[in-house]
Amino acid sequence: MDETKQSAEIETLIEKLLDSDPEVRTDAALELGTSGQKSAVEPLILALNDENPDVRFQASKSLAEIGKPAVEPLVKALKGEEGNTKRYATFALKNMGDDNVVEHLIVALKDEDWSVRKTSAKSLGEMGSKKAVEPLIDALQDDDWGVRCSVAKALGDIGDEKAIDPVKKARRAAKGDKEFKKVATKALKKIG
């Protein structure tokens, strides 16, 4: 396909990201991801804040599919102000499977938005990076219950023995919190 025609198709897909029908927007996000075009990155980042969760989810998957050209804009979005954008940027970075994004997800563990911290912890656990163990151990003290649960699970997923004592300590400190204790116990079993 010649470059002019491809560029026109990308522009049409970008316009479809603004369509009133969420299915049209979702399909456009999907096609932009398979195009692999750098020009699709910024419009897809804007779509991370779409009112429809299917559109947001597909935009994040498409950004992960585009890969390296999307890393820097995603990191910038992660430092932005909008919660949906930051959560879905975290998801996209995780799905790239690139160890270079681990540092950015670690920084996101201290975000003011609890859902960004929770998503970052979950992502770090799924990536299994040992670099994340110490920051995750620190995050066991998070004010938010859901974040602490995600952190304990992430530490179990990573499986580093350094996490055993801190998870045990957090489990003991969670007096009366049966759910957290269950998550912590599962994590400890996974670690060994």
Q: Which helix (H) or strand (E) holds 133?
A: helix 133-139
What is d(CA 80, CA 96) in angstroms, rounded to the nearest whole number?
A: 20
For residue 100, pLDDT beyond 90: no
- The pLDDT-based confidence of 180 (bands split at 50, 70, 90) is very high
What is d(CA 39, CA 33) in angstroms, rounded to the nearest whole number?
A: 11
pLDDT on residue 102: 92
- C-alpha dihedral sign at 81, 87, 90, 95: negative
- The pLDDT-based confidence of 127 (bands split at 50, 70, 90) is very high
pLDDT on residue 1: 53
What is d(CA 153, CA 119) in angstroms, rounded to the nearest whole number?
A: 12
pLDDT on residue 83: 74
Average pLDDT, the chain: 91
Picking from 71, 70, 68, 1, the residue whose alpha carbon sits closest to that of residue 29 is 70
CA atoms within a 13 Å half-sphere pointing along the CA-CB vector of 122 = 16
Q: Which amino acid is at 45?
A: I
Picking from 147, 173, 95, the residue whose alpha carbon sits closest to that of residue 135 is 147
Maximum separation of any 2 CA atoms in the chain, in Å: 65
pLDDT on residue 190: 95
Is-contact 41 69, C-beta < 8 A? yes
pLDDT on residue 97: 72
For residue 2, pLDDT beyond 70: no
